[in-house]
Structure 1
Protein backbone atom coordinates (compact mmCIF):
# COMPACT_ATOMS: atom_id res chain seq x y z
CA UNK A 1 0.00 0.00 0.00
CA UNK A 2 1.44 3.41 -0.92
CA UNK A 3 2.04 5.85 1.92
CA UNK A 4 -0.92 8.03 2.86
CA UNK A 5 -0.76 11.60 1.62
CA UNK A 6 -1.05 14.47 4.08
CA UNK A 7 -2.30 18.04 3.69
CA UNK A 8 1.28 19.16 3.00
CA UNK A 9 1.22 17.09 -0.20
CA UNK A 10 -1.52 19.26 -1.74
CA UNK A 11 -1.69 22.87 -2.91
CA UNK A 12 -3.42 25.12 -0.35
CA UNK A 13 -5.90 26.41 -2.96
CA UNK A 14 -6.93 22.81 -3.72
CA UNK A 15 -7.50 22.19 -0.01
CA UNK A 16 -9.70 25.29 0.15
CA UNK A 17 -11.73 23.96 -2.79
CA UNK A 18 -12.05 20.56 -1.11
CA UNK A 19 -13.19 22.22 2.12
CA UNK A 20 -15.90 24.07 0.18
CA UNK A 21 -16.98 20.77 -1.41
CA UNK A 22 -17.04 18.87 1.90
CA UNK A 23 -19.05 21.57 3.65
CA UNK A 24 -21.59 21.91 0.83
CA UNK A 25 -20.59 25.30 -0.58
CA UNK A 26 -19.50 23.63 -3.83
CA UNK A 27 -21.08 20.64 -5.56
CA UNK A 28 -19.09 17.68 -6.89
CA UNK A 29 -19.16 18.90 -10.48
CA UNK A 30 -17.99 22.35 -9.39
CA UNK A 31 -15.15 20.83 -7.38
CA UNK A 32 -14.03 18.62 -10.27
CA UNK A 33 -14.19 21.51 -12.75
CA UNK A 34 -12.11 23.80 -10.53
CA UNK A 35 -9.72 21.09 -9.33
CA UNK A 36 -8.77 20.23 -12.92
CA UNK A 37 -6.22 23.06 -12.92
CA UNK A 38 -4.30 21.26 -10.15
CA UNK A 39 -4.23 17.96 -12.06
CA UNK A 40 -0.87 17.19 -13.66
CA UNK A 41 1.35 14.31 -14.71
CA UNK A 42 -1.51 11.96 -15.52
CA UNK A 43 -3.52 12.72 -12.37
CA UNK A 44 -7.14 13.67 -13.02
CA UNK A 45 -9.42 15.85 -10.93
CA UNK A 46 -11.29 12.68 -9.95
CA UNK A 47 -7.97 11.22 -8.80
CA UNK A 48 -7.36 14.30 -6.68
CA UNK A 49 -10.81 13.90 -5.12
CA UNK A 50 -10.06 10.26 -4.31
CA UNK A 51 -6.71 11.20 -2.78
CA UNK A 52 -8.28 13.91 -0.63
CA UNK A 53 -11.25 11.83 0.53
CA UNK A 54 -10.87 9.90 3.79
CA UNK A 55 -10.45 6.13 3.70
CA UNK A 56 -12.21 5.05 6.88
CA UNK A 57 -11.40 1.38 6.25
CA UNK A 58 -7.71 2.21 6.65
CA UNK A 59 -8.32 3.71 10.09
CA UNK A 60 -6.38 2.48 13.09
CA UNK A 61 -7.92 -0.54 14.79
CA UNK A 62 -8.03 -0.87 18.56
CA UNK A 63 -5.96 -3.80 19.77
CA UNK A 64 -7.92 -6.58 21.53
CA UNK A 65 -5.68 -6.24 24.58
CA UNK A 66 -6.20 -2.47 24.83
CA UNK A 67 -7.55 -1.67 28.27
Structure 2
Protein backbone atom coordinates (compact mmCIF):
# COMPACT_ATOMS: atom_id res chain seq x y z
CA UNK A 1 0.00 0.00 0.00
CA UNK A 2 1.15 3.53 -0.64
CA UNK A 3 2.91 5.02 2.37
CA UNK A 4 4.07 1.67 3.78
CA UNK A 5 7.49 0.01 3.74
CA UNK A 6 8.06 -3.74 3.94
CA UNK A 7 11.40 -4.84 5.38
CA UNK A 8 13.20 -8.07 4.55
CA UNK A 9 16.25 -9.69 6.08
CA UNK A 10 18.33 -12.42 4.50
CA UNK A 11 21.25 -14.25 6.12
CA UNK A 12 23.46 -16.70 4.27
CA UNK A 13 26.87 -18.36 4.26
CA UNK A 14 29.03 -18.35 1.14
CA UNK A 15 31.16 -21.23 -0.16
CA UNK A 16 34.13 -19.94 1.90
CA UNK A 17 32.09 -20.19 5.15
CA UNK A 18 31.67 -16.40 5.49
CA UNK A 19 28.27 -15.30 6.76
CA UNK A 20 26.34 -12.21 5.73
CA UNK A 21 23.13 -10.38 6.57
CA UNK A 22 21.34 -8.00 4.19
CA UNK A 23 18.43 -5.73 5.19
CA UNK A 24 16.25 -4.38 2.39
CA UNK A 25 13.11 -2.30 2.13
CA UNK A 26 10.38 -2.35 -0.51
CA UNK A 27 7.62 0.18 -1.13
CA UNK A 28 5.24 1.41 -3.79
CA UNK A 29 5.60 4.92 -5.19
CA UNK A 30 3.15 6.76 -7.36
CA UNK A 31 4.02 8.61 -10.57
CA UNK A 32 1.11 11.02 -11.06
CA UNK A 33 2.29 12.18 -14.49
CA UNK A 34 2.18 8.62 -15.85
CA UNK A 35 -0.73 7.57 -13.60
CA UNK A 36 1.31 4.53 -12.61
CA UNK A 37 2.60 2.76 -9.51
CA UNK A 38 6.21 1.60 -9.19
CA UNK A 39 7.77 -0.99 -6.89
CA UNK A 40 10.89 0.52 -5.31
CA UNK A 41 13.60 -1.31 -3.34
CA UNK A 42 16.67 -0.28 -1.39
CA UNK A 43 19.48 -1.97 0.51
CA UNK A 44 19.47 -0.46 4.01
CA UNK A 45 22.26 -2.48 5.60
CA UNK A 46 24.78 -5.18 4.79
CA UNK A 47 26.72 -6.92 7.58
CA UNK A 48 29.38 -9.61 7.79
CA UNK A 49 28.28 -11.96 10.57
CA UNK A 50 30.84 -13.30 13.00
CA UNK A 51 28.44 -15.36 15.14
CA UNK A 52 25.99 -18.14 14.37
CA UNK A 53 22.67 -17.32 12.68
CA UNK A 54 20.68 -17.47 15.92
CA UNK A 55 17.86 -15.06 16.64
CA UNK A 56 19.85 -13.49 19.46
CA UNK A 57 22.91 -12.98 17.27
CA UNK A 58 20.88 -11.52 14.40
CA UNK A 59 19.03 -9.18 16.79
CA UNK A 60 22.36 -7.86 18.14
CA UNK A 61 23.54 -7.22 14.60
CA UNK A 62 20.33 -5.47 13.51
CA UNK A 63 19.84 -3.40 16.65
Q: Into which bin does the TM-score normalised by the smaller protein fall?
A: under 0.3
TM-score (ref. length: structure 2): 0.21
Higher helix residue share: 1
Compare the two structures and name the one with the higher strand fraction. Answer: 2
TM-score relative to the length of structure 1: 0.21
Instruction: Report which structure shows greater RCO (CA 8 Å, sep ≥6).
Output: 2
